[in-house]
Chain A
């Protein structure tokens, strides 16, 4: 009796799970499917390719346009992530551990920036970067990425830092450590998992951006993949860019899927801890 109700509950949850999985994965599987289709079968409307081909991937990796954009994407996202996490960790440590005037102001400012409409920055940054010679360069994108990633980094990291037992820092001080040593030798190793999680979240954010990338770049020099994708459409060297776009789309989706597969637990805890406690 109890057994059957338990089974029924499991089946019900199972069906809901399946619904979620299907809903979440269909668009991803669809674009993967398109990327493996041959030009002839591309427009057949079938969800599963009838003929499989790697031609689309070969095409995009043969073009400078895509390879260059991929390098830009990776380089810009990695640099921005590193800087944002380092600066964010410093600020988050101060916020969660130290007492100093201006702390609330900093928290308030980062909250404001988290809510800031990015498009409002596009026109002034466009003009400022043109004047400073940053337009269409890596730093030109890295700067706004760091700025908008910082609130995320600060919130997530402060939440992680707060979970580190406070006594440890006191103990380190009693053991003869300066505040700086207490940070480097005791807190930092404990904070490493939090730093890593934050880095993933920040990387996803930078990797994702489209608005800044399309507004603050004009050539292949610093165009990232999302932007390059949108330019495939008009490019004439492809007869039909759909296959190429899909292949490129799949390529930049791979790291995300890897992150999600391997670090699901961390990402969830990072997002939720930052959201509730931060």
Chain B
């Protein structure tokens, strides 16, 4: 077991493209860290560099305090679980799991004992003599995990290990992975493009975009206090709503009405080069049916009226889509997020607002509805660089705060 340190690690391909740029990351011994981001963000390349499957162009990689840049994968003592599972089709489950131990030239007895033990942990014992072709997707996944844990390596690397499973099994395996990691206490780096997986699994999440780290932190912190527009838009499902907001006469003109701003934000916006046009971000759950809000809560937010487009009842709550006037907020980050979601050239029904209201709400489709939102939870972003203006000393406290 060991810590993993990435010190200004970069990956440049000889054709000039930079896949990973100056990544600094310290992963503590026993920590479970998730690398997440849209495809092409460099997360897999980073993982492959830690594994030794790709060369590091510059920077230093240390595992357990030791520089391993030029070490072959076999000399780094780390195990990897692949998206495709990469089970050797010509070997049985037992042989697959024993393979790394046999390469390490352990004696037969030890090998058998270790394999049996790992098989027991993953409930693979009855499958040990089968070939991978005769296993289900979930079973294969478990064999791949088994092959990784059997040799008790310094660290586990997992490259989207659950993405080939169907939705239900994925949720189930998520808990298996999580429990296993806690049980073994082995340092783990886990790559995924699924933000739900990132939020639920890791001690800390690293959000990457275009080869650079955007923000590192515990899931809840990333959710509540996103550094920038990209992180805000990437984390959360349904994702944060973004609206344009013009700075005029000490307030923010938005499609939801004039939003008041506190002293700190005002000071920030007073500078000569301060942006005149901002992006306002509100998460769906920070809206509420105005009828259901008590007075105390009401004071912390503001209200607006908008026509109700669609109501999706989830049972526990309602997703309500509202039509609001005004132009859609645009920025490079938002376009990239839309492209990742596959909706870059498909704007759908126009500038809709996604809100998550209590199940008790009597909202119906077609009516105009009065809706409240929490001013303490909104974020303001600078469209030019995506910076979160509401963030003060790492905490976001709405536009209101002083």
For B79, the chain A residues whose CB sits under 8 A away are 174-175
Secondary structure class of chain A's binding surface, majority of residues:
helix
Among residues 145 to 187 in chain A, which have CB atoms less than 8 Å away from a CB atom of chain B? 165, 167-168, 170-178, 181, 185-186
Q: Are B84 and A175 in contact (CB under 8 A)?
A: no
Among candidates A171, A177, A181, residue contacting B82 with C-beta atoms closer than 8 Å: A171
Asked whether A186 lies within 8 Å of B88 as measured between CB atoms, the reply is: yes
- In angstroms, Cα B52 to Cα A185, docked, is 20
Nearest opposing residue in chain A for B53, CB measure: A170
A255 at the binding interface (Cβ < 8 Å): no
Contact indicator A170/B82 (Cβ below 8 Å): yes
CA distance A211 to B213 in the complex (A): 66
Enumerate chain A residues within 8 angstroms of B104, measured Cβ to Cβ.
176
Contacting B74 at CB < 8 Å: which of A167, A168, A173, A189? A173
State how many angstroms separate the Cβ of A141 from the closest Cβ of chain B.
Answer: 36
Expressed in whole angstroms, the Cα–Cα distance for A168 and B86 within the complex equals 5
B100 at the interface (CB under 8 A from A): yes
Bound CA span A165–B73, Å:
19
Give every chain B residue within 8 A of A174 (Cβ-Cβ): 51, 53, 73-74, 78-80, 157
Residues of A within 8 Å of B53, CB to CB, are 170, 173-174
B283 at the interface (CB under 8 A from A): no
- The contact string, 1 if C-beta is below 8 Å from chain B, for chain A 184-201, is 011001100000000000
* Nearest chain B CB to A255 CB, angstrom units: 28
A170 to B79, CA, bound (A): 11
Contacting residue for B84 out of A165, A176, A185, A186, CB 8 A: A165
> When A171-B80, A172-B99 are in contact, do A178 and B86 touch as well, CB less than 8 Å?
no
Q: B359 interface residue, CB < 8 Å from A?
A: no
List the B side residues contacting A175 at CB < 8 Å: 74, 79, 99-100, 103, 147, 151
A175-B76 Cα distance, complex, nearest whole Å: 10
Which residue of the partner chain, among B83, B86, B89, B100, contacts A176 with CB atoms under 8 Å? B100
C-alpha gap A25/B51 in the complex (Å): 57
A179 vs B116: C-alpha distance when bound (angstroms): 28
Contacting residues of chain A (108-150) with chain B, CB-CB under 8 angstroms? none
Given contacts A170-B82, A173-B53, A175-B147, contact A190 B73 (CB under 8 A): no
Asked if B183 is at the interface (CB within 8 A of a chain A CB), the reply is: no
Which of A167, A177, A189 interacts with B90 by CB under 8 Å?
Answer: A189
Q: Is B72 an interface residue (CB 8 A)?
A: yes
Given A176-B103, A181-B103: A171 in contact with B72 (beta carbons within 8 A): no
User: Could you tell me which residues of chain A, from 184 to 237, have a CB within 8 Å of some CB in chain B?
Assistant: 185-186, 189-190
The number of chain A residues touching the other chain, given as a range, is 10 to 19
Give Cα distance in the complex from A170 to B53, angstroms. Answer: 7
Q: A-B contact count, CB below 8 Å? A: 58
A190 to B82, CA, bound (A): 19
Q: Which of B52, B72, B80, B99 contacts A178 (CB 8 A)?
A: B72
A170 to B100, CA, bound (A): 13
A189–B89 Cα gap in the complex (Å)?
A: 9
A186 contacts which chain B residues (CB < 8 A)?
Answer: 88
CA distance A119 to B53 in the complex (A): 47
A126, B72: Cα distance in complex, Å? 50
| Chain B neighbourhood of A185, CB < 8 A | 99
Chain B residues near A173: list those with CB within 8 A. 52-53, 72-74
- Enumerate B45-96 residues with CB–CB distance to A below 8 Å: 51-53, 72-74, 78-80, 82-84, 86, 88-90
Are the CB atoms of A167 and B86 closer together than 8 Å? yes
Residue of B with least CB distance to A178: B74
Question: What CA separation (Å) do A213 and B395 show in the bound complex?
Answer: 85
A171-B80, A175-B79, A177-B74 in contact; A190/B147 too (CB < 8 A)?
no
Do the beta carbons of B90 and A176 come within 8 Å of each other?
Answer: no
| CB <8 Å contact, B90 and A190 | yes
Contacts of B51 in A (CB 8 A): 170, 174
B80: A residues at CB distance < 8 A: 170-171, 174
- The chain A residue with its CB closest to the CB of B82 is A167
Across-interface contacts of B82 in A (CB, < 8 A): 167, 170-171
With known contacts A174-B51, A174-B79, A165–B86 Cβ distance under 8 A: yes
Contacts of B72 in A (CB 8 A): 173, 178
Asked if A177 and B103 sit within 8 Å, CB to CB, the answer is yes
Contact B86–A170 (Cβ < 8 Å): yes
Q: In this complex, what residue of A is CB-closest to B98?
A: A175
List residues of B (141-160) whose CB comes within 8 Å of A's CBs. 147, 151, 157
With most chain B CB atoms within 10 A of its CB, the pick from A173, A175, A186 is: A175
Tell me the bound Cα distance from A181 to B88 in angstroms.
13
Q: How far is the CA of A172 from the CA of B83 in the complex (A)?
A: 15
Interface 1/0s, chain B 321-362, versus A by CB < 8 A? 000000000000000000000000000000000000000000
Q: List, in ascending order, chain B residues with CB within 8 A of A190's CB.
A: 88-90
Interface string of B93-124 (1 = CB under 8 A from A): 00000011001100000000000000000000
B132 to chain A, nearest CB (A): 11
Docked pose: A176 CA to B77 CA in angstroms: 8
Expressed in whole angstroms, the minimum distance between the Cβ of A177 and any Cβ of chain B is: 5
Q: How far is the CB of A178 from chain B (nearest CB, A)?
A: 6
Which residues of B lie under 8 Å from residue A170 when comparing CB positions?
51, 53, 73, 80, 82, 86
| CA of A228 to CA of B78, assembled, Å | 62
**A53–B100 alpha-carbon span in the complex (Å):** 63
Contact of A167 among B84, B100, B151, B157 (CB under 8 A): B84
Residues of chain B lying within 8 A (CB to CB) of residue A176? 73-74, 100, 103-104, 151
- 21 contacting pairs across A/B (C-beta < 8 A): A167-B84, A167-B86, A171-B80, A171-B86, A171-B88, A172-B88, A174-B51, A174-B79, A174-B80, A175-B79, A175-B100, A175-B151, A176-B73, A176-B74, A176-B103, A176-B104, A177-B74, A177-B103, A185-B99, A189-B90, A190-B88
9 tightest A-B CB contacts, nearest first: A171-B86, A175-B100, A167-B86, A174-B80, A176-B103, A189-B90, A176-B74, A173-B73, A167-B84
Residues of A within 8 A of B (CB): 165, 167-168, 170-178, 181, 185-186, 189-190
